[in-house]
Each structure stands twice: as C-alpha cells, then as structure tokens.
A and B are shown apart, each in its own frame.
Chain A
Amino acid sequence: MSNSLYQNLAWLPKAPADFATRCRSLTQQKDNFGKRLQALASHALEENELIRLAKTIGRARESGFSFAPMTSFRLGLISNSTVDFIVPALIASMARYGIALECVSADYDQGIQEALNPDSAINRANPDAVLIALDYRGLPLRAKHGNPEEAEATLRAALGHVLTIRSGIKANSKAACILQTLAPPAESLFGSLDRVLSGTTSSLIDALNLGIANSAAGTEDVLFDVARLAETVGLADWHSPAQWNMAKLPFSNSFLPLYADYVSRIIAALRGKSRRCLVLDLDNTLWGGVIGDDGLEGIQIAQGDAAGEAHLSLQRFALALRERGIVLAVCSKNQDEVARLPFRKHPEMILRENHFAVFQANWNDKATNIKAIAEELSLGLESLVFLDDNPVERALVRKLLPEVAVPEVPDDPSLFVRMLSAGGYFESVLFSEEDVKRADFYQDNARRVALGKEVGDLESYLTSLKMEITFQPFEETGRARITQLINKSNQFNLTTRRYTEAEVARTESDPNFFTLQVRLADIFGDNGMISVVICACRPESAWEIDTWLMSCRVLGRRVENMVLLEVVQHARRRGIRKLKGRYIPTGRNNLVEHHYAKLGFTQTRQEDDGTTLWELDVNGASIETAPMVVHNVGFAMEEA
C-alpha cells in the first residue's frame, strides 16, 4: 500500500479514462493551451501516459503554440544509463508545475566529454540547469575490501568524476547543476558488515553520497537525493535487474512518474514555484469527529487513541511546516466560535489559534473562502495547498480554483502526513532566516476576513455530482440511525429536540405524525442518512415541523430545498394547508437561524428566548429545486 502510494502518485487525482482523447484535443485549438495542458498534466499519469503527453507537447511546440502562462526552462541531462524514457516523462511532468521544458540530453555515457567540450550539444543549448544523473553501475567503484587507503582513493576518483562533469558545465555554460545521489544496490556482499567494511560497494556509495551532498551545500547547485527516494519506496523495488540488463534503465520503469515528478518539483523550486501556505479543514482533518456535533469531549485528538494520534501527527507536521516558514490557515464549514473552541480549550491540541494567519470558519463555499485567504495574504492561488478529508470539497476547490493544489487523502487519517509530504508541495532548495520569520510577517492572529464575490459556477458543479436523494418514512431498519442523528445533531437542527428510540418507534405507526428519513448519494459514494424530519398534525389542516435536522457534510447543495419540496408534496396530497416551523436557538445552531426565511416562510412570532415561529402556505409555496434525482420508498398507496 505504502509503496503504491508513491508509485501511483496517489496524492494526484486519477487520470481520466479518456486520457488519449483529451491529449489529442489539447492541440485541436490554440486558445489557453498552457492552462489546459497544465490541468491535464496535473493528474496521476503512468509511464505511457507521460510519454503520450510529451509527444503532444512536442507537436504543439512544432506548430508554434503559445505555452503562456507557463515558465520556460531548458534542462541538460547527463547520464550513464538510458534516459530515453526519462526525457519525455520530465517534459510531461514539468507541465504539472507550470513549466514548459525543453530537454537536451547527452549521448549514452558521454558525460565527461559533454561537460568539458564547450561546443557540446548541452553546452551550446545554454541550459538553465543540468541534471547529472549517474548510476553506481557506471562509476569506478571497486576497491579491495578492508583496505581503507584504497577505498579512499577509489572514493576520490569517483567523486572527482562527478565534480569534473560539474565544473565542466560551470565553465562552459554557467548552468546550475542538479546533482543526484546514488541509489545503493539491494544486494549485499557480506551482509550488514557491508556498511562498516571499507571498500564494499555499499560503504563506498554511502561515502560518495555524503561527498556529493557536501559539495552542493552552500553553492548555487542543488541536490536531488535519489538514494533517499529509492530507500523510501524500497531498493528491491526501485532496482529492476532485468530492466537494467535489457535496456540499462537506471530504475524500474514503474517509478518513472515518481522520479520525473521529483525532478520537476526541484526545478519548480528553483523557479520559485514552491507553495507557501497550507489551508486546513478542521472536522475529521485536524481532529476526528465534528466539533459542532460531538463537542469538546467528543472529538478525537487525545494521545492513546489511534484516530486521535493520527490527527495529532498531522498537527505536529503542520506546526513543523510553519516553523520552516509555511503559512497556515483554516478553512472550515463551522460556526466561528465553535470552530475555535478546541484551539482554546482542548488540552491535547498542538496547534493553537496563534499559529494561523487566517481562520475562516463559516458556512459559505470553500472556494470563495480560499480565494479570500489568498487575497488577505497577498499570495497567488498557486501558492496554496488545501487539505480536506471530504472528497466533495476537494473536487469543488479543484474545479473552481484549479491553481490550488488539493491532495487526495486516503480514508485513514494515519496516512494524511505521508500523503501531504509525498506530494512535495513545499519542496525547497534552500532555507534561510527569512523563512523562519515569514510566519510572523504574516501576523498569525487567526483573523477572519470578509468574503469577496462567489467564485465560479457552483450550479454546474452541483449537477456534476449526479446526486440521488431518497425519501422514506421512518421504519424499523432506519430507526437506530434516526435516533442517533436526533440525539447528536447540534448545528443544522431547528429545534434540537431529543427522542429515545422508543419514542421514534411510536411515530412510525401514529397517523398524527408525518416523518422523513433522507439519504443522499453522489459520484463520490453514498453519504447514508443525512436528514430527518418529523411533522406533527395540528388543528385547521396544519403540520408543525417538530424536528428538522441535517448533516453539515451535505451543506450547500440545496438538500433542504428538496426536503421541503417533498414535505410540501405530501402535505398537499393530504389536504394540509399550512406548514408551521419553529427555530429554537441553542447557541450551537446559529447556522439555521435564517433557515425558514430562506425557504420562503413568513415569521409569525418571536419569543423572549429568541425562538421564532414561521408559516408557509402549502399551496402557494414555490421552492427552488436542486439538480438531483428523487426516489421515494415506502410511502402509503393512498397518497399516490
């Protein structure tokens, strides 16, 4: 699982099934080519898809397409293994980072000649950077075992080889060099002794890698730690002896997308394209559970609890990012005071309000909120990463704000940190005092900022969700979940009346009650039961809405409109003329203060405790619907 997380670039959304067709249509028109290319490249593409996309890019270049607003970059590539697949993979992956790459590679194993000759293809191309991608199998790494002097000499020669290439490039083209460390072989000779015995391949590579890293430190050249990458995914998987023998591929071709993405993020960092701000969701992201419903005692954030530990490690990671200069912000669908409660009152929280520059907790759509965060921080949207456990929110932000990086996350919060880290959004080629001070520069006062105009076309997004809503009266199989929702929902809950399972059961057969349990499914899956309504018969052909609650997960999709429409239709069939609503404020349900007003009810009374009473004329009601398919299950025949 963990290896495939890296191998499949699992933080990126999956490639569309019609990828080949989309590749073709990229070059069918010239408008907006750069943006469309970057959008397509931002999927998790496998080896052949990368090569296909690179061919498309090549054709576009030949036909004189404009790559704006992408940044152009020329990379030289020196290697002692086969790079014929690496070059197209780099060209395609770099588009993901908004870089239009041209790549010049030296002939097989011509590194030194290519570097030292001022007139070589690479030096003539005047590259912005040269990637020196050497494999240990092509370096003179042989020494007698247990002979430190000879090992030292071997090491000097090998490091000299790398540094000669590097200084040749410097002298002839002034390009920055990207120096790779070497992935050690999976095989050992002595076993664990390999690491300490002088002259073994393993100890020579260890020392050489250290030498390469030290030689890059403090210079304008940068390191690409391939050894670390290979160890991360596992050396036995990284090296494919068969593919080396067959075609001198330096690593298993299934890691081509990963390798190319790693090179791309380093080059993006060289061009100042690293991201600078992490925007975090709260419920089920920074802690387990929903603060508005579960309360301070109910959320999972304590040590000793597996889910709590997982969310704590995300907080720890976010704090570490902040300490290296990444700005933190919150974007959550919540009531502001409720959302701030854990930061103020929960003893186990690692993150506190003063770690955040902006704190957006409200019920508006997240795209509009994220735009407001970017504007407040004077950062471009392309500087932001947005982490949210909810796939619907992720897809919305990706669609409306494609510049924002939105990593996919697995269901298990234990893997949130790994996913966020594997995405490499904050790749950096240097670290300075300014980075440390940056967080303070942004004034971490967790301020709330006003929202601008709503962004993008929410309506077409709602349609794309292909929602299906199912209405059913209360019955035995749903009873437990209905009771649970009635006793746990605090936020979207008009009256917050709690009932026991026996009381719920009684309404099932009592003709004086009309009840609804509501389920919602969409392209991301089944959300299960998300809303509950209980209407009680009142004199003069009226229904009073005793209970109306909904899960906040499905806010902003006009589910409440569809629920009202359903209630109204049943009311009409039964000759009911009036719907009476009641809003009882509890301090936690401000969200629905204007619920009835928004749905077209008229206020009839306000009581001293803030409770408001509402009425709707059933026959005159006009309700704005939402794009979803409606299913009815289990309603009595006489209604039909």
Chain B
Amino acid sequence: MLATEIFEKLSLIFRDIFDDDAIVLKPELTAADVDGWDSLSHIRLVLAVEKTFHISFSASEVARLKNVGEFVNLIGSKCS
C-alpha cells in the first residue's frame, strides 16, 4: 500500500475520532498538536487503525510511536 493511500485512510480515522473534519495529517504531527489526543484516544486510534487495515500491533509498537509519520511507516510495514 502506498504511503499516500495510508495517509488518506488515516486522515479519515483521525477526523472521525477527533470529530474534526479540518484535521490534515503531516508526518511530523504529534499528540501535542491535536486537541483531545490523549492516551485514551490514542488507544481508540490504534484500535480503529487495526480494524480498518486488518492488522494488529503489539503493545510495545504502540508505545514507541512518536508521530504520525512513524504511525504511517508502521502501518505500511504491516500491510506490505
């Protein structure tokens, strides 16, 4: 799957979870930049990504994520 495709799908997930259609994902985006991106919505994000992309993450993979770019790379590595 292409990174742009992942970005597109991931944007939809972000917009749904944070209920904000204005969110535009950039690789350097972090939790500090998004209103309401706390540990619980992080779990929701991870679960929604697992469901959408039909993949699963280990707890340590989730803990390591620093920004959207790393998230996209991780998804990409599991979808190949």
13 contacts across the A-B interface (CB closer than 8 A): A20-B19, A47-B47, A48-B48, A55-B19, A84-B40, A85-B40, A242-B57, A243-B43, A245-B59, A246-B46, A247-B43, A249-B43, A253-B47
Total number of residue pairs linking A and B with CB closer than 8 Å? 32
Which residues of B lie under 8 Å from residue A85 when comparing CB positions? 40, 44
Smallest Cβ distance from B48 to chain A, in angstroms? 6
**Contact B16–A254 (Cβ < 8 Å):** no
**Contact A243–B47 (Cβ < 8 Å):** yes
Smallest Cβ distance from B25 to chain A, in angstroms? 18
| Interface residue? B30 (CB, 8 A) | no
Measured CA separation A242–B43 after assembly (Å)? 11
Query: In chain B, what residue has the closest Cβ to A46?
Result: B51
**Contact A242–B58 (Cβ < 8 Å):** yes
Query: In chain B, what residue has the closest Cβ to A253?
Result: B47
Binding site for B on A (CB under 8 A): 20, 47-48, 51-52, 55, 84-85, 242-243, 245-247, 249, 253-254
With A48-B16, A52-B19 known as contacts, the answer to whether A242 contacts B59 (CB < 8 A) is yes
Which residues of B lie under 8 Å from residue A246 when comparing CB positions? 43, 46, 59, 62
Query: In chain B, what residue has the closest Cβ to A243?
Result: B47
Which residues of A lie under 8 Å from residue B56 when comparing CB positions? 242
Measured CA separation A389–B59 after assembly (Å)? 45
Contact flags B48-72 to A (C-beta < 8 A → 1, else 0): 1001000011110010000000000
Which residues of B lie under 8 Å from residue A47 when comparing CB positions? 44, 47
Measured CA separation A584–B47 after assembly (Å)? 65
Measured CA separation A20–B16 after assembly (Å)? 8
Query: In chain A, what residue has the closest Cβ to B47?
Result: A253
Main secondary structure of the interface of A (DSSP, over half): helix
Smallest Cβ distance from B60 to chain A, in angstroms? 9
Query: In chain B, what residue has the closest Cβ to A47?
Result: B47
Query: In chain B, what residue has the closest Cβ to A241?
Result: B59
Measured CA separation A253–B40 after assembly (Å)? 13
**Contact A48–B17 (Cβ < 8 Å):** yes
Binding site for A on B (CB under 8 A): 16-17, 19, 39-40, 43-44, 46-48, 51, 56-59, 62
Which residues of A lie under 8 Å from residue B39 when comparing CB positions? 247
Measured CA separation A85–B48 after assembly (Å)? 13
Which residues of B lie under 8 Å from residue A52 when comparing CB positions? 16, 19
Query: In chain B, what residue has the closest Cβ to A23?
Result: B19
Measured CA separation A255–B12 after assembly (Å)? 22
**Contact B43–A48 (Cβ < 8 Å):** no
Smallest Cβ distance from B39 to chain A, in angstroms? 8
**Contact A48–B44 (Cβ < 8 Å):** yes
Which residues of B lie under 8 Å from residue A51 when comparing CB positions? 44
Closest CB pairs A-B (n = 6) = A246-B59, A245-B59, A247-B43, A253-B47, A84-B40, A48-B16
Query: In chain A, what residue has the closest Cβ to B58?
Result: A242
Smallest Cβ distance from B56 to chain A, in angstroms? 7
Measured CA separation A254–B47 after assembly (Å)? 9
Which residues of B lie under 8 Å from residue A55 when comparing CB positions? 19
Residue with the greatest number of chain B CB neighbours at <10 A, chosen from A20, A253, A254: A253
Measured CA separation A249–B44 after assembly (Å)? 11
Measured CA separation A130–B47 after assembly (Å)? 28
Measured CA separation A249–B39 after assembly (Å)? 13
Query: In chain A, what residue has the closest Cβ to B13?
Result: A48
Query: In chain B, what residue has the closest Cβ to A20?
Result: B16
Smallest Cβ distance from A187 to chain B, in angstroms? 18
**Contact B51–A254 (Cβ < 8 Å):** yes
Measured CA separation A273–B48 after assembly (Å)? 33
Residue with the greatest number of chain B CB neighbours at <10 A, chosen from A84, A242, A249: A242
Which residues of A lie under 8 Å from residue B43 when comparing CB positions? 243, 246-247, 249
Measured CA separation A253–B51 after assembly (Å)? 10
Measured CA separation A557–B46 after assembly (Å)? 48
Measured CA separation A48–B47 after assembly (Å)? 10
Task: List 12 other contacts, CB 8 Å, given A20-B16, A242-B59, A246-B46.
Answer: A20-B19, A47-B47, A48-B16, A48-B48, A51-B44, A52-B16, A85-B44, A242-B57, A243-B43, A245-B59, A246-B62, A254-B51
Measured CA separation A391–B26 after assembly (Å)? 45
